[in-house]
Structures are given as C-alpha cells and as structure tokens.
Chains A and B, each alone.
Chain A
Amino acid sequence: MTQNSLIAAAASLQRLEGVAGVVLFKGRNTVHKQMPFSDGRAMDLQETISQMVDGYRQVRRKMRQIYLEFDGGTLLVIIQEDSVLVLLLTARADSDLVASAATVLMTDHATLLAQLSRDTTATPAKTSDGIEELVVTSPVRIQEMNEKAEPVVNNWGQVRKVIEGILGKVMGRAQVSNLMDRTMEEGQIGDPYRLNATQVRKLAVSVIDHIPNTSKRRQLLTELESQLEEMNL
C-alpha cells in the first residue's frame, strides 16, 4: 500500500452518508484534510484534538475512539498509535458504520501509518523500486482516485436497519440489537462490515431464524427477502 492509496481511502470515507469532513494526521503531518470550512479552522480543530490525544498518551492510556456529539454535529476520532483520523458527522450518519469503516482503514494501513513521519516536512515517500511516490493533493485527482477505489465497507448498515424495521414489529429495539449481537457471536463474525454480499444476506437470515414461532418467522423471512431484493442483495 502507498500513501496515495491511504489518501484515496481516507477521502472515500466522505462518500458514506452523513460524513461532512475528514482529517487524517500523525503529529504535525497532515496526511489528508477535507473539511467544510477554512483551512485555518481545520488546523485549529486538528491542534485541539492533537493536544487532547497527547494528554491521554502522556498518561499511557491506549485510546481507540472518542465520540463527541455536539448540539450541531458530531466529531468521531479514531486513534491508532500516533495516527489520528477525525470525522465530522451530521445527524444522518450511521456512527457505527462510519466508526467501523474508519477503524478498518486504520488497521489496513497500519504499517504505512507507522512509517509516516510526525513532522510537517515529511520526505517524499519512496516505493520499493526506489522511485519517489507522487502524493496527490488535488481534490479533482482525489475524486478520480475515489471512483477507481474499491468500496471500503459493505452495506451492512442498511441491512441492519432493514432487520431492525422487520423485527421491531415483534420485539423491542434493545432486544433486536442484542439478538443481532448474539447471532454475530454465534457466527464468530468480528466485523459485519467486512462481509461480502452473500455473507451479509446469510447473517440477516440467521438473525430472523431466531424467531421461535414458525409462521411468524416465515412471514418475517419473506419480508426480509423482498427488502433485500430491492437492495439488489
């Protein structure tokens, strides 16, 4: 993986519904920054989050994630070693989906992130053949790279909402959530957002399969099939 693929992956997070801005940085090295306000304000934001994360680091706390819901929007901060990924979310975002996608990004690029400098004056990255890598910062180029990039996550977030809607007719929301967690534990599924389409469908069916009443279960499965078809799953 190269720094270009990291930038493209970070930029592609903004394609998830409700993600208004993304900043990825390590120390003073800003790897990617796209916020819906001025660079100066984005720098202030980065500086404050950096101070906050450094405070935790000084007391040797291994932070994973900070979720801050304000009256006008939400900041989601994903931390991995010295690297920090900040996402500005609107009320339309599925926070768990975004957090999962962002964590996957950080994990997939862990080696590359570990090699990045913490300073602003980072030397150009070199590939294994010794050729300097071109780091692309143009929004147009990033957009082109996004279009070519593979999707980072599947549509489990949408499928989960479908299941919640269907099961919500026969049980409470907390029960639905517990049932989904239990089904994933039984299936040893660590991260549902990394499943392929067939596996997502199988997971959805196995959640509904827990309904003990046979006729009710059949009815709910029919409804699920119909909604999954509408989603082309």
Chain B
Amino acid sequence: MIKLDTTSGREAISGGEPDSAQRFASEVKYVSYYAQKLADTLGMRQLMLGIVEDREGQTAFRASSTGWHGAVSSNRRSLWQVRETLQRS
C-alpha cells in the first residue's frame, strides 16, 4: 500500500517500491487535478476514489483523512475487487 500524505502543505510519499511510489504520486496528482474540474462541472464536491487502467496495469487510489492511499498493480482486477480492497485498507 502506498500513501501520499498531503497535509501540512507538503507532499510525503511512503510505502511501495520507489518506481511504483513515483508512478502512484504522478497518477494521483494528474487525475485529481482534472477530477476537481469534473466535480465542479457535475456539481459534486470531490473525488473519493479513482481507478486508472492502461495496458500496463491499474493504479487505484482512495481519499483518506491525510491525502490518498492505494496501489499500482500490473494485474487487471475487476472494479468491484479493487474498490473492496481499497475500502478495507
């Protein structure tokens, strides 16, 4: 499990392999930037959970009280399975 802590005005990443952690942080920042624009358009407040899938695998993340937590995986799992895993963690 990788954690991206965004409290206290600075970003701190922990957990996972260095490559995965870097990819996780980049993905979360990119997606959450556009997600905020989409939330504003849809009249919603914020992104709670994201699952991004390309040919290499999945990056999944969930909002927490301190930022985001989630994982980068080369396996392709169902959306239901990923959500369950994130909600348990």
Contacts and interface: CB of A to CB of B under 8 A. Distances in A.
Interface string B54-89: 110000000000000000000000111101100000
A71 B42 contact: no
Interface in A92-118: 95-96, 99
Nearest to B39: A70
B34 A67 contact: no
Give chain A's interface residue range (CB within 8 Å of chain B).
20 to 34
B53 A55 contact: no
Interface string B37-58: 1110111111111111111000
Contacts of A55: 30
A48 to B, nearest CB: 5
Contacts of A1: none
Given A71-B45, A72-B43, A99 B54 contact: no
A66 B44 contact: no
A63 B38 contact: no
B12 interface: no
Given A48-B37, A64-B53, A67-B51, A72 B78 contact: no
Contact of B34 (A51, A65, A72): A51
Contacts of B47: 68-70
Contacts of A122: none
A71 B44 contact: yes
A138 B33 CA distance: 35
B80 A95 contact: yes
A146 to B, nearest CB: 25
Contacts of B53: 63-67
Contacts of A96: 78-80
B31 interface: yes
Given A67-B50, A69-B50, A44 B41 contact: yes
Contact of A70 (B30, B45, B52, B81): B45
A177 B78 contact: yes
A131 interface: no
A21 B78 CA distance: 22
- The 3 tightest CB contacts between A and B, nearest first, are A69-B49, A72-B44, A67-B51
6 contacts: A44-B41, A63-B54, A72-B42, A95-B79, A99-B79, A174-B81
Interface of A: 41, 44-45, 48-49, 51-52, 55-56, 61-73, 75, 88, 95-96, 99, 173-174, 177
Given A45-B42, A69-B49, A99-B79, 4 more contacts: A48-B41, A72-B43, A96-B78, A177-B81
